[in-house]
Amino acid sequence: MKTDRNGYALSTDSDEAVAALERFTSDFLAARPEAAAVMAVAEQHPDCALAQAYAAAMALYSQSRAEIERTAIPLLARASSLRVGATARESLLIDALLAWSRGDLPSAIALHERLAADWPRDLIAAKIAEFLFYEAPDYRRHLRFMERIADANQDAPAFLAMHAFALELCRHDERAETTARRAIELEPDTPWAHHALAHLLLNQRRIDEGVALLGDLAPTWSAHTPSLRGHNWWHLALLHLAREDVATALRLYRASIASNEPSDVFQHVDAISLLWRAELAGHRQDEEWRRIAPRLVERAQEQVFPFLNAHYAYALTRAGRHDVVQESLARLRDYAFRQSGFAARVFRDVGLPLVTGCAAFAAGEAARCTVLLEPIMPEVACIGGSDAQNDLFRQTYVVALLDAGRQSEARKRLNARIAGSAPTAVEQGWLARA
């Protein structure tokens, strides 16, 4: 038995494996591309349960059912076969990852809460839990999770970034900003803290401040994974778009956001949602939809969580790939009606009407879109994504109301949305139509 940097036991006698897992911890928490080397570590140390589990987690992050079945499940089977010699922490993590691989997100989250209770400085487990809360959002529970382990991790910029994001999601804005800035003070190159501030500044409509801050921080992003790098550029583009600087937003899209990896779901979502928002602001993107459509077709058929389905349905409808959209809707419908419990609510009750409504809006059927979205808007966050990401669906509903001639209802929605704040330039455009 060896121990890690926190003094937690590891079920390996290999100093080489311990060193490799320590490198992975640093690289994973910092979102550096070198974290992918854990796949090779798992192969080189087949008797190390934690290496198998971490490699499986990387495959689960792909958000691809095909990749989960091809890579994550065999790695988890190997990890499970090593349980006899595994530590309690390792065994619990394996159980949590197995639940994630089955799509049982409530169980996966509950198991991570148990991990955090006994091993509060296990920031790999905390970071995985943060992603599970992204796939199955429960903002208050997410914050409680981070608050429970906060005292043990006040010296860790990676944790402070996670804590700041959870605070922001619950609109504890002052604490969120203080916590994110503390992370950056400890380590300026903490891109997840930059990300938390990007959310906060957009929500507070501090647009010019956000553009300046992210512009200053952007040079540090080049050392990080393409998905995180692109996502932070996406946040900067959203700030430009909020002040209706569409030209700059689209320049950033072409330079830093549009997927250069055909199978990367993170890049797909950022590219689709930025083009979608540009269209909501009145700027059609017909050529861009046709350009990116071929790389979206395969992933559009998978069922991971409905947030993804909605993006693919909109993009492929706008690209004129109606055959693919109809097939993906049929697969989603079949999958949704075979679910029970939590998954039935997410896929059948909320996800299916959302995805169908987004496809309808993309096809120019605004009235049909409003009928489909209206009943589910109070629960739309349950389908996944962050607050900034699933706000796209609320914006779509407002514009659909406008396009359907329901101006008074759109104005009520907009007034509630703005709630006494100064509207952004895009919101002013919507108000002018209402």
Question: What pLDDT, on a 0 to 100 scale, did the predictor assign at position 405?
Answer: 98
- Region of poorest pLDDT, from 173-177, 256-260, 325-329: 256-260
Cβ neighbors of 212 (< 8 A, separation 6 or more) are: none
Token code pair at residue 39 = 């796949």
- What is the mean pLDDT of the segment spanning 203-215? 96
Cβ neighbors of 40 (< 8 A, separation 6 or more) are: none
Question: What pLDDT, on a 0 to 100 scale, did the predictor assign at position 263?
Answer: 78
Q: What is the pLDDT of residues 372-414, one digit of tens each?
A: 999 999 999 999 999 999 999 999 999 999 999 999 999 999 9
- Which amino acid does the sequence have at 148? R
User: What does the alpha-carbon distance between residue 203 and residue 261 come to, in Å, rounded to a whole number?
Assistant: 30
428: left (phi over 0), alpha (psi -120 to 50) or beta: alpha
What band does 59 get if pLDDT is binned at 50, 70 and 90? very high
- What is the mean pLDDT of the segment spanning 91-117? 98
Is the CB of residue 198 less than 8 Å from the CB of residue 236?
Answer: yes
Question: What pLDDT, on a 0 to 100 scale, did the predictor assign at position 420?
Answer: 81
Nearest to 227 by CA among 97, 116, 63: 63
- What is the mean pLDDT of the segment spanning 198-205? 96
Instruction: Burial-class residue 173 by CB neighbours within 10 Å (0-12, 13-18, 19+).
Output: middle
- The residue assigned the tokens 């993107």 is 285
Instruction: Convert 118-129 to b/e letters by CB count within 10 Å (16 or more is b).
Output: ebbbbbbbbbbb
Q: What is the pLDDT of residues 109-162, one digit of tens each?
A: 999 999 999 999 999 999 999 999 999 999 999 999 999 999 999 999 999 999
Q: Is the pLDDT of residue 261 over 80?
A: no
Q: How far is CA 165 from CA 189, 194, 322, 400, in A?
A: 16, 10, 37, 30
Annotated domain spans of the chain = 244-434
Q: What is the pLDDT of residues 327-365, one digit of tens each?
A: 999 999 999 999 999 999 999 999 999 999 999 999 999
Is the CB of residue 355 less than 8 Å from the CB of residue 332?
Answer: yes
Pairwise pLDDT comparison (187 vs 1), residue with the higher score: 187
Question: What pLDDT, on a 0 to 100 scale, did the predictor assign at position 430?
Answer: 97
Is the CB of residue 383 less than 8 Å from the CB of residue 307?
Answer: yes
User: What does the alpha-carbon distance between residue 68 and residue 8 come to, in Å, rounded to a whole number?
Assistant: 28
User: What does the alpha-carbon distance between residue 78 and residue 399 come to, in Å, rounded to a whole number?
Assistant: 50
Q: What is the CA radius of gyration of the chain?
A: 22
Is the CB of residue 385 less than 8 Å from the CB of residue 370?
Answer: no
What band does 12 get if pLDDT is binned at 50, 70 and 90? very high
What band does 1 get if pLDDT is binned at 50, 70 and 90? confident
Q: What is the pLDDT of residues 221-251, one digit of tens each?
A: 999 999 999 999 999 999 999 999 999 999 9
User: What does the alpha-carbon distance between residue 352 and residue 356 come to, in Å, rounded to a whole number?
Assistant: 6
Token code pair at residue 261 = 């990896």
What separation, in Å, do the N-terminal and C-terminal C-alpha atoms of the chain show?
Answer: 67
Question: What pLDDT, on a 0 to 100 scale, did the predictor assign at position 259?
Answer: 65
Is the CB of residue 228 less than 8 Å from the CB of residue 218?
Answer: no
pTM over 0.85: yes
Nearest to 30 by CA among 174, 162, 218, 216: 162
User: What does the alpha-carbon distance between residue 66 and residue 410 come to, in Å, rounded to a whole number?
Assistant: 40
Q: For all residues of the chain together, what is the average pLDDT?
A: 96
